[in-house]
Amino acid sequence: MNKVKNIKINSVVLLLFLVITISMIYPLAATGRIAAQVDWLFHAARVEQIYRNLSEGSLFTYIATSTFQSTGVGSFLFYPVIFIYPWAWLRFITTPVVAYYIWVGLFMFMTFVISYFSMLSFSKGKYLRSFIFALLYTLAPYRLYLGPASFVVGEYIASTFIPLAFLGFYHIICGDKRKWYWLTIGMTLLAYSHMLSILLISEIFTVLLLVALFTGKFDLKRSKYLLISAIATVILALPVIIPLLTDYFGKGITATYPGVGMIQNLGEVFTTSLSNTATSSSIGIVLLLVLLSGWRWIKQDSLEVPLYILAICLTLISTAIFPWKSFNGSFLALLQLPYRYLIYVVLLTAILGSRIIVELLTKYGALKTNWRRAMTILALLLVSLISYYGSISNLSDRLANTAKNKETIIKPLKADEQAILYAGILTNKNYQAQFDYWAQTGEVDYFPTKTLKKNHFLEYIIMDWDKAYRTNKDVYSIISGVTRINGQEMHIKPYASANALQYQVELARKSKVDLPVVHYAHTAVTVDGKPAAYQNSKRNTVQLDLEKGKHTVIVGYLPSKVFFIGTKIALIGWGLLLIWIICQTCYFKRKN
């Protein structure tokens, strides 16, 4: 009977999550518009390249050939792409605008489901608390900022799996150690989403582990499960790790700009949280109240004490109270944006807040009868929807694009025109026009370090991106598509195909040809159909010595055999892990 009851309750909960997801996403999709800004073009260009390659029958995408100004940049090698493939696949069955919103909705629904079942396991079967936790976490303004409001796609995807990683860590430290695999699954999915999130969550797990050790709450016998989980995670994450080892680390490639920037004041966290708007400093009014008054509700000698203290510390660390400028030269500079810690503040306060809300509802009789319980759940859903629409009100205004708040419709660039896409409205009609623009962020991520002149971009990251691109002559020449033949500059438009750029070069004499394509350890070049050696030019691009005459030069990328071996090992690893989980579950069910 309990099993039937569980299925019924969980089915109703999943249906409610589906309904609320559709209620949130449909109004956005119905506008037929996307309010592009900041990180949008970087991710949209990656999806577009994957879509075009899939159209040609190529499953894997390694380098940019028809997007990112055809520079051959490896934004697909070093920034995980697995979870943006569904976005690209949706392009085959619907319009670009609708495809994006469906994709956002899929991850919204997944976050509801994962956070619900994670709390269900953590709380040992408390349905209402798990339901409330899922609402608090998924609809927190900071998480909405990552997704539909500001297109911080990597972190938005990663936030879907953070509860799962925390659940696995909890089971290893003080729960059911047989469920260590949830940590492996959670961490691997994070690696498939956003590598920096692995660093951040590892920092937090290290702190919690040290607390557990010093307080004597961690049995060292359990440490083997941490080791097993870590090894399994590395195996499953090989498709992401291998390109970093073969082409990134020690190869003179720079990812995003170094240094810590955009540090917000503690006051901003309070004011924006009180307004409940989806910004980079807002955890929302409910979670702010939990953060400020949580000490009154904590159960002594429970897991909530370190979690609550950690939430307070992470809130402070995410602001200017922590001396971030003093750590610009340290590994902490990899963080770039301290407010990234706020997603963990959201998680921790949602854990405590879900229990507090259930206790208050119980205290005031809201759960006494089935009728009251049903009305309470409907009220929670209604309040959550109202909170959601309030949080994204700025986005809604931009999409409405009324006469009072008219925003620029992105227009196609002229043949000789160059511009950065800062912000504007996209529709299905002008969607393709955006790819002729330079991306405000990410356009030159994963360029050679020498080309970027080290900290050059940090000087202009806030003030003037256009100046950043144009001041660096090498960067400007590459993204402008300038080919240099014996030092003379000219434009030769390449033919773009999946993972390859084809140039037709005609020479009056033997010449040095410097193509505007960045290269990596496994870049491959052919001249007139034959493999050819190339040199590293002064601007760190592909350079060739070619004889007089007409030549067909193809610059592409051929991953190492290790990559394909690692991918096969990871797939086998997923299969074995699934079999092991099924066998273990069946064994203990029979035993019980």
Give per-residue pLDDT as tens, 25-70: 999 999 999 999 989 999 999 999 999 999 999 999 999 999 999 9
d(CA 179, CA 173): 11
d(CA 255, CA 250): 12
Name the pLDDT band for 569 (thresholds 50, 70, 90): very high
Residue 531: its pLDDT value, please?
95
Tell me the pairing of strands 500-507 and 495-497: antiparallel
Whether the pTM exceeds 0.85: the reply is: yes
Residue 336: its pLDDT value, please?
76
**DSSP-assigned letter for residue 81:** -
d(CA 198, CA 486): 46
| Non-local CB neighbours of 261 within 8 Å, separated by 6+ positions | 336, 337, 458, 461, 462
Mean pLDDT in residue range 461-475: 76
Q: Any bridge partners for residue 557, and if so which?
A: 523
Name the pLDDT band for 405 (thresholds 50, 70, 90): low
Q: What is the 3-state secondary structure (H, E, C) of 459-503?
A: HCCCCCHHHHHHHCHHHHHHHCCEEEECCEEEECCCEEECCEEEE
User: Angle formed by the axes of helices 2-30 and 96-122, to 10°?
Assistant: 150
Longest dimension (CA), the chain: 90
Q: Please classify residue 18 by burial: count the beta carbons closer than 10 Å to its beta carbon, then call 0-12 exposed, 13-18 middle and 19+ buried.
A: middle
Task: Work out the percent of the chain whose per-residue pLDDT is above 90.
Answer: 76
CB-facing half-sphere around the CA of 38: CA atoms within 13 A: 13
Instruction: Identify which has the larger pLDDT, 554 or 325.
Output: 554
Do 228 and 172 meet the contact criterion of CB atoms below 8 Å apart?
A: no
Mean pLDDT in residue range 511-528: 96
User: Angle formed by the axes of helices 96-122 and 153-173, to 10°?
Assistant: 10
pLDDT tens digits, residue range 272-284?
A: 999 999 999 999 9
End-to-end CA distance of the chain: 17
Tell me the pairing of strands 34-37 and 438-439: unpaired
Mean pLDDT in residue range 135-148: 96
d(CA 145, CA 280): 6
Residue 416: its pLDDT value, please?
84
CA distances from 340 to 155, 260, 273, 279 (A): 9, 11, 15, 12
Residue 458: its pLDDT value, please?
47
Q: Is the pLDDT of residue 109 over 70?
A: yes
Residue 403: its pLDDT value, please?
58
Helix ranges (DSSP H) in 392-544: 393-400, 449-452, 465-471, 473-479
Phi, psi of 512 (to 5 degrees): -95, 120
Quick check: helix, strand or coil at residue 126? Answer: coil
Mean pLDDT in residue range 189-209: 95
Residue 415: its pLDDT value, please?
84
Q: Is the pLDDT of residue 449 over 70?
A: yes
pLDDT tens digits, residue range 427-445?
A: 999 999 999 999 988 899 9
Nearest to 134, CA basis, from 147, 120, 150: 120
Ranges 72-86, 195-209, 250-264: which has the least confidence: 250-264
Phi, psi of 568 (to 5 degrees): -65, -40
Mean pLDDT, the chain, as a whole number? 91
Q: Which sign, positive or negative, has the C-alpha torsion 564, 565, 570, 572?
A: positive
Residue 454: its pLDDT value, please?
53
Mean pLDDT in residue range 155-166: 97
Q: Is the pLDDT of residue 460 over 50?
A: no
pLDDT tens digits, residue range 531-545?
A: 999 999 999 999 999
The label of the residue with tokens 């037709």 reads: 504
Tell me the pairing of strands 420-421 and 438-439: parallel
**Where would I find the beta strands (DSSP E) of 252-352?**
253-254
Residue 241: its pLDDT value, please?
96
Instruction: Identify which has the larger pLDDT, 592 or 117.
Output: 117
Nearest to 148, CA basis, from 36, 45, 269, 286: 36
Residue 331: its pLDDT value, please?
67
Instruction: Identify which has the larger pLDDT, 299 or 356.
Output: 356
Ranges 169-178, 212-221, 553-562: which has the least confidence: 212-221
Residue 301: its pLDDT value, please?
67
